[in-house]
Amino acid sequence: MITSGHIHIFEALTFGRTNPQWPPQLVVGTGGDKLAKKPNEPDNVLGVQVDHSLIVKNFAYMILDRDGADWKGTLFDEDGARLARCRLSNRDLNCRKER
């Protein structure tokens, strides 16, 4: 998985089923001073199909924990309420909005 935090939103993308050489992308850029405009969830990136995607525009932080061979993560807003939950298993990153 590629993890970054530059564009001032939360974005999770998985490409694994259609293009297994592309690792999942997780952007946690939700702690800055100004959030970016929320883009549409992409169908593809550079012509590669996106299997799962989630974009959240909130000030937030994420906690990732190891769960055996997998990783699980929770995205929390500034008050500690859950915004999304994620699971990374092999090269499949699946994130679901909580509210």
Task: Check residue 24 and give its pLDDT.
Answer: 92
Q: Per the confidence metrics, is the pTM higher than 0.95?
A: no
Tokens of 40: 């549409």
Task: Check residue 64 and give its pLDDT.
Answer: 96
Tens-place pLDDT, residues 41-73: 888 888 888 988 999 999 999 999 999 999 999
Q: What is the total count of domains within the chain? A: 1
- CB atoms < 10 A from the CB of 63, how many? 9
Task: Check residue 25 and give its pLDDT.
Answer: 92
User: Which structural domain, as residue segments, surrounds residue 92?
Assistant: 2-97
Collapsing DSSP states into helix, strand and coil, what is residue 53? Answer: strand
